[in-house]
Amino acid sequence: MNLLLTPPTISDLLRLLRAWRLWLLGATLGGLLGLAVYSIFPPHYRAQATVLVNFNVEQSWPNLPDREVFYYLDRQSRQLEEIAWSDAVLAQVAESSGTAETLLRREVLTLSQPADGGWHFYADSAEASLAAQTASAWAESFTTQAQSATPQFDAWLEVTPTQIKNLPVTRSVPIGSYALAGAGFSLALLALWALFVPRPAQP
């Protein structure tokens, strides 16, 4: 009989619940394994630069209905996002960081922003200093291009860098995520082993 295709019985599930010592040991060992992987193969550093984008909707469109405000902010945000990823902006980032534009787009840069507020420009690198330099260059280049294009959007639009120097740099993936992933993987393996590996018959 194929044990993988046989659904677990109530007794199998009860056996799993009673084996709390096994789960505790497995979670501990799995967490330690995740920490070991983190130490041997650490994730890249990630730097964050911030630019404040203020559409000043109250001044530019004082009588605009709420629904129209939503569409307005969405359209303006998408246009600014196109500027952030434009060739002109990334060419300056590539020149400053010494990283190819294709690599910047594919692996290094990440943009996270609300419709109206702080836009966060992230850059990943194996070197903390290079991550900070790249993120700073991206935010600064975006600010320059956006400010020069402001008349095309709205005279009330304000784009102001709030943090492009002395940037916070952390690992792109926290160490706790590795520990949790290792513990979860270990528990999943133990559950499969307990459910599908036949136990020796009692004499």
Q: Check residues 192 and 124 and name the one with the higher pLDDT.
A: 124
Q: Return the closest-CA partner of residue 171 out of 31, 37, 27.
A: 37
Give the C-alpha separation, 138 to 47, whole Å: 11
**Residue 171: both structure tokens together:** 């690992």
For residues 15 and 141, give the distance between their C-alpha atoms in angstroms, rounded to a whole number: 60
Q: Is the pLDDT of residue 67 over 70?
A: no
- For CA atoms 78, 56, 144, 149, give the dihedral sign: positive
Mean pLDDT taken over the chain: 82
How far apart (Å, rounded) are the C-alpha atoms in residues 80 and 34?
Answer: 39
Domain with CATH 3.30.70 in the chain: 45-172
Q: What is the pLDDT of residue 147?
A: 87
Nearest to 73 by CA among 86, 84, 64: 64
Q: Name the band, by pLDDT with cuts 50, 70 and 90, for residue 202.
A: very low
Question: 51 in helix, strand or coil?
Answer: strand
Separation in Å, CA 75 to CA 2, 80, 157, 169: 56, 9, 13, 31
Q: State whether residue 122 is helix, strand or coil.
A: strand
pLDDT at 1: 43
Assign domain 45-172 to a CATH class: alpha beta
d(CA 77, CA 56): 13
The highest-confidence range among 65-69, 125-129, 174-178, by mean pLDDT, is 125-129
Distance of CA 31 to the CA centre of its chain: 22
pLDDT at 132 over 80: yes
Contact 189, 197 (CB under 8 A): no
**Are the CB atoms for 93 and 138 separated by under 8 Å?**
yes
Q: Which bin fits 153, alpha (ψ -120 to 50), beta or left (φ > 0)? A: alpha
Is-contact 46 168, C-beta < 8 A?
Answer: no
Whole-number pLDDT of residue 178:
87
Give Dmax (Cα) for the chain: 86
Of the chain, the percentage scoring pLDDT greater than 70 comes to 75
